[in-house]
A and B are shown apart, each in its own frame.
Chain A
Amino acid sequence: MSERINIKGMWWKGLGVVLFLYVIVGGMMIPLKPGILSIQPGNAVNGDTVKLEVTGYNTHFLSGGDLRTWLKLDSSHFIQAFQIQATGETMCKATFAIPSSMASYTGVQPLTLILDNEVDGYSIQPNAIFLAINDSLSTGEGWDSSIDEPLHAMGQIRFPYRNILHETIRNTFFHIALWFAMFLLLLAGLWHAVMYLRQGLPQQDIQSAAYHKVAILFGLLGIATGSVWAKFTWNTFWTTDVKLNMTAVAMLIYLAYLILRNTIADEDKRARVSAGYSIFAFIALIPLVFVIPRLTDSLHPGNGGNPALGGEDLDNTLRLFFYPSILALTLLGNWMATLLIRYEKIREKMFYHS
């Protein structure tokens, strides 16, 4: 027994582990950009002088240098706070004198709050307060037509701060990357199934089954991570969202594949039938996961008119971890599949020798 271990052929395993560690460490350690957590009170009337209590997140109101804030009605109507007082690193009080003349606006208008200092750069909170407009003059007096001083930009690498998502934006590296990796592994399983039907080598059946098993594991993990994420953002573990339910159906189809493999005793027949079923299942999966959710409304990005990946939700700092995470998970999945394949081969060898 002097089988040499081929170290050179294992570089991809190391790469997978290193990349995944990089994603876990980097993805968890890098802080979010400063943002605005809440603003009190939430409404005002034109002509008022309002004192807003702003709670920030990851902000440096005290130590961040010159703090300035504006309320924005539209791209040519701004007012700057005439008084601003920081009471803590994440707390400040800004006082605005809202003009009584409201240009041509009537009814209730949302105002956007813009906050800026040297360290944190600027942060923006849309719909910060709602302004009820009582009989206003249409002159537009008292508003600035633009912000005259330049805003600061954040220099360091930070993840974007998004309302609702907050810190859970890091789940992008796990939840979404798991789905991508699962899909790639399913493709590998499909490829081996097709090759089995064409060539009929028993090892191709073992490979196909192994890739499918790992893909199913990744799919279940994808559902689990998504469910936890949904609890935080949509306040429920499971919603009526199409994409969720269609993936659940897809998972059921693939779990049926596992049952199929366990039911058929004859190896040759099992291989042929499960290869046929897996190809059929993959074809049935395409309309489920890729067509139907795009036609109906969905809470997920990229469906029902929401922006997909590559919109403002996936900025360059996230990409720095998102793409490596897909690669890492695919490599790790491939590693798991090769372990399963080796296990099956050894089991078969022992079975035939005894």
Chain B
Amino acid sequence: MRFFLFPALYLLAALSMSAPGRPAMAGGNSATQVGVRSVQADFIQEKHLQILAQPLLSQGRFLFKAPDSLRWEYTSPFHSILLMDKGRVKKFIEKNGRMVADTGMPMNGMQVVMTEISGWLNGHITGNATFSVKRKGKIIILTPKNQGMRAIISSIELRLGDQAGLLQSVTIVEDPERKSFTRMVFSHALLNQPIDEHLFSRP
């Protein structure tokens, strides 16, 4: 369960990188330099697996506030929330009408992931020891350098939107044959709008 949070957190990091002034991808500009103070967006997620006749669909809302506050909320088909508030990570799942903390993942693992993500949020892309970065037009491809991680994630593809600073979609490819992948398509995105602080600390 060590990798429980990987997909969502990679996406969070990826989304925050989609700020205006894309040099952050190549030149290592920080999020502050490219002007990202906050991002809000709805998302629809498709999960594709070799065994599935039809993909699994879920949807929710994503919030990010610089430098390190995140809220990743699934509203359908079940309600769960992943929070990061000033580096502290919590996860909640709705049970019997109440949001209950999910402690299935060891907190140590979560801290490790967050350390990685914090670096991305601060724009340390080119200096990242974890991923190599390639760009093909509006698509940015992140490939794990570590063979162990490649067993989990083959690549991450970020498709930039027409509007500067926002992503159209993120695809996490889990196997080289591309039979198993997760695609998130964003909509109703808002850049640098105020977000209530408590949304990052409470479910």
Please indicate whether A and B come from the same complex rather than being unrelated chains: no
Question: Which A positions have Cβ atoms within 8 angstroms of B?
Answer: none
